Amino acid sequence: MKPHSLTAPYAAVQAVFWMSFCVTIAFAAVYLQALGYSNTELGAILAAGNLFGTVLGPSLCAHIDADARRSAAHYIPVILAAQSAALLVLLLVPVKGVVTTLAFIAAGAFCIALNSLLLKLYVDAEHAGVPIQFSTARGFGSIAYVLLSALLGVLITRLSVHILPLFGLLLCAVQLLLCRHVARALPASGTASAAQSEKQGTSLAGFARKYPHFCLVLLGTVPVFFAHNTLNNFLINITRNVGGSTLSMGYLNAFIAAVEIPVMLLFFRIRGKLSSAAFLGIAYGAFLLKTLAVAAAPTVPALFAAFLLQAPSFGLYAPVSVDYAADAVPYEDSAKAQSLSYSTTTVGSVLSGVISGRLFDAVSVTQTLLIASGICAVGLAVSLFGLFDKSIEHQKARA
């Protein structure tokens, strides 16, 4: 009998996760600046959270790949409990200081690490023959992000930034319930496959040796997402630079997510037209064009126009990066592949937090964005070499 699709419940998981991401990461600058943190301090906090999340996510997935008795479902409640504890501290200690700094770093780290486990849930379902249209589910994540971003822009303006930790706590509780539902719907083979039992996954060092071209693409992804996260993490700075406010930043944030949605929802209809490598190359080129367009935008309406390029950049990248990792790397190393693919984007956020935070304090917004564009161009070149120097089929044959 054909397995029942999990697209709808997994779409709910994605929706709540990206709402949590919106609260914890996208509005970080608004929250921390309201408490008196400088751009440099804000950048350092975001960088630390991303760094710890980048290490934690692949480490957990390496354990999952190496032990057939473990699955993402074992770790998700622990990560959500830790994130909730950090958010509770922020709710109870809403002032600038060491406690708030450490709590925010922890909240960001656990939020980022959680996405690696959610991707593993998807891979397990697909391997077990349970259909999930990831691009559709991810599209609903963006829809939820749009709605919450617009709502938060209004609520923060009318109330205060202190509503953010409370929203985060509520979303953690909902995520736990939804993830349990999806995990329980998977057959036993989805969490402890015969392939895993017969062959342990590769170590992280061995992974780099085994899949050099995939790792080269990941290396190029870091500077591309340096530019992307320079726009995302400091969107309030960019908006204020052209005469906008927190309210307009909330609407802009919602608009950015909204333009992704058609691409994500319809990607499953067009993904057979080109290889996943070709689609990924197109997405990376669009990231560069977007950064340049935002740098050139002189007004808030022009910013909205520039961010239309979110559709062929991140809107295309989100679903195709999952397909590319699945095409390039066999199932026994799938958790590491998906986790590392996501983690390289957070490494880009780490670097943008450290470097761009200082740049925004030292030079103009336009100059910072032009520097980010140059770095993005380097990443584009490296990624294209990794994508097209060898075919995916040849990589898999070697594996």
pLDDT for residue 4 = 64
The residue ranking higher by pLDDT, 386 or 395, is 386
pLDDT at 5 over 80: no
pLDDT at 303 over 90: yes
H/E segment holding residue 35: none
pTM as predicted: 0.72
Lowest mean pLDDT among 195-209, 212-226, 274-288, 363-377: 195-209
List pLDDT tens digits, range 77-86.
Answer: 999 999 999 9
pLDDT single digits (tens) 260-285:
888 888 887 777 788 888 999 999 99
Cβ atoms of residues 29 and 233 within 8 Å: yes
Bigger pLDDT: 280 vs 66: 280
The Cα–Cα gap between 215 and 201 comes to 16
Secondary structure, 3-state, 132-170? CCHHHHHHHHHHHHHHHHHHHHHHHHHCCCCHHHHHHHH
Roughly what angle, to the nearest 10 degrees, separates helices 276-296 and 316-328?
A: 150
Q: How much is the average pLDDT of 25-52?
A: 84
> Residues 254-265: pLDDT tens digits?
788 788 888 888
128-139 confidence digits (pLDDT tens): 777 788 878 888
pLDDT at 1: 37
Q: Residue 50: how many CA atoms within 13 Å on its side-chain side?
A: 27
Considering only residues 177 and 142, tell me which one the structure prediction assigns the higher pLDDT: 177
- CA angle in degrees (0–180, nearest 5) for 54-22-249: 125
Portion of the chain with pLDDT greater than 70, in percent: 89
> Which residues neighbour 324 within 8 Å (Cβ) at sequence distance 6 or greater?
217, 276, 277, 279, 280, 341, 392
CB 326 within 8 Å of CB 126: yes
CB 255 within 8 A of CB 311: no
Distance CA 236, CA 66 (A): 42
∠168-81-128 over CA atoms, to 5°? 100
Q: What is the pLDDT of residue 397?
A: 43
Q: 3-state DSSP call for residue 187?
A: coil
Beta carbons within 8 Å of 171's beta carbon, 6+ residues apart: 16, 19, 20, 23
Q: 31 versus 58: which is more confidently predicted?
A: 31
pLDDT digit string, tens, across residues 360-377? 888 899 999 999 999 999
User: Encoding tokens for residue 321?
Assistant: 């990066």
Per DSSP, 190 falls in state: G
Q: Which of 212-216, 277-281, 312-316, 349-353 is the least confident region?
A: 349-353
Alpha helices in 161-211 (DSSP H): 163-185, 194-198, 204-210
DSSP helix, strand, coil percent of the chain (3-state; round to 5): 85, 0, 15
| Angle, alpha carbons 262-264-268 (nearest 5°) | 110
Mean pLDDT over 19-45 rounds to 85
Instruction: Name the residue among 132, 10, 109 with its Cα closest to residue 60.
Output: 109
Query: Can you tell me the mean pLDDT for 165-185?
Result: 89
**In CATH terms, is domain 8-398 a member of 2.20.25.160?**
no
The pLDDT value recorded for residue 132 is 81
| Residue 314: HSE in the Cβ half-sphere, 13 Å Cα cutoff | 24
User: Looking at residue 31, what is its pLDDT?
Assistant: 86
Is residue 49's pLDDT more than 50? yes
For position 344, what pLDDT does the model report? 83
Whether 105 and 353 have beta carbons less than 8 Å apart is answered as: no
What's residue 348's pLDDT?
84
Question: Average model confidence (pLDDT) for the chain?
Answer: 83
User: If phi over 0 gives left and psi between -120 and 50 gives alpha, with beta otherwise, what is residue 93?
Assistant: beta
User: Looking at 102-106, 176-180, 186-190, which range is the least confident one?
Assistant: 186-190
Q: What is the mean pLDDT of residues 24-28?
A: 84
| pLDDT of res. 197 | 42
| Averaged pLDDT, 149-169 | 86
- Select the highest-mean-pLDDT range: 34-38, 149-153, 236-240, 282-286: 282-286
The SS3 call for residue 273 is: coil
311 contacts 259 by C-beta, under 8 angstroms: yes
Listed by start position, the domains of the chain span 8-398
Encode 72-97: b = buried (16+ Cβ within 10 Å), e = exposed: bbbbbeebbebbbebbbbbbeebeee
The proportion of the chain whose per-residue pLDDT surpasses 90, expressed as a percent, equals 31
